[in-house]
Chain A
Amino acid sequence: MNRYLKQEIKKAFEVSVPNQKKKTQFLREFPRSPISMRQFILIQITYLRKGTVVLSGLFLLPVLIGADSINLNILWVISALIPFLGLLAVTESTRFAIYGMYELEMSARFSIKSVMLARMSVLGLLDAFILCCLIPLCYRNSSVSLLQTGVYLLVPYLLTVNISLYLTRCFHGREVLYSCMCAAVLISGGSWGLHIAADFVYQISYVYWWIILFLFLIGRMAQEIYRIMKQTEELGWSL
């Protein structure tokens, strides 16, 4: 009886809007509530895939667990793995490009540019946190200085991010994902290979070259992000 009565109460109070046209027009022209930057970022965080965040966090595991048990110097293991952290960040922030969702993102409340910037900032901060944990942990278990540890980890990361961002601009759909994965694998292999075949580049005398490379990659990354933003602006005209 209760459920039926409640349904009947609903019907008893039912009343239709007299002027449907007026309602539609009002809803169409209604000024949306302004949203603070904090709220916007928090909304974007909820859209990030949990798997990406968990996988990014897993990069800490080899250091925390394997540092003492693995015979190898953990720095080189992490250095070879770190490109995949960059890959995760780039593929997550440009997910709309991988799945061909440009139109949907552009018709939404916020511009594709601001959504992408927000996602990149959030993932960038997450990666920065992970790297901030990794660098001192790797330094503790390696024979090189803290500065060297930092650049040896950051250079492969930044290189992957740079190439992945470039590939995101050049390819469309699933090709972006495959090409970025390919780049990450190559950089990872290259990093490990460099450690095996040309160990001398990791000597202290070469550290300045590493720092120059690091700064160059930072600059290139800023340039790539700027180019991607410009490209998303142009999408509005080409769609």
Chain B
Amino acid sequence: MDIEEQYDKIFRYCYFKIADKQLAQDITQETFLRFYRQDLRLDSSKELPYLYAIAKNLCVDEFRKKTVYHAENIEEKIVCDRSEEWINRLTLRSVIAKLSKEEQELLLLRYVNEVSVTSICKITGLSRFAVYRRLSKTLKWLKEELKKEGFSE
């Protein structure tokens, strides 16, 4: 497993869970340290789900401490940029925000972090069929919503 490649992906996942960049980075590093401290002899197919499971649990722990969740405002980062690309992205973000947390997690894992469906099943505890069905349903819904919002290709 390439740690450098996974570092950014796990960070993105943690940030998605707790919406705090600094804390997400700390959790990312803790995730890797815990993963290797276990000294497990895992199959390469089980490594990634295990890594995500650690990250998820650490995020849940932080969430329970209630030290986080001052969600960063996405709008603030868009510095007076009114280009079509930014408008599209903003539209997409607002539509994605309407999705349930589980659906957003599936999108992130599959299309952003490019995790295999097999690994997603292990991370989320869903069946293969359920993952495919939810993803296609979400994509279909997104397309419809984006059409309504005037999202342009």
Contacts and interface: CB of A to CB of B under 8 A. Distances in A.
Interface of A: 1-2, 4-6, 8-15, 17-19, 22-23, 26-27, 30-34, 36
Interface centre among A8, A17, A23, A32 (most CB of B within 10 A): A8
Given A5-B143, A9-B92, A33-B36, A18 B22 contact: yes
Interface stretch (B3-11, B57-65, B116-124, B125-133): B3-11
Contacts of B108: 13
Interface of B: 3-4, 7-8, 11-12, 15-16, 21-22, 25, 29, 32, 36, 39, 41, 88-89, 92-93, 96, 107-108, 111-112, 139, 142-143, 146, 153
B13 to A, nearest CB: 10
Nearest to B74: A12
A13 B112 CA distance: 7
B111 A9 contact: yes
A1 B8 contact: no
Contacts of B146: 5
Contacts, number: 66
B32 A22 contact: no
B interface: dominant SS: helix
Contacts of A12: 89, 92-93, 96
Given A5-B139, A8-B88, A30-B32, A13 B12 contact: yes
A27 B4 contact: yes
Cβ-closest 6 pairs across A and B: A18-B21, A13-B112, A12-B92, A9-B111, A6-B111, A33-B36
Nearest to B13: A13
A28 to B, nearest CB: 10
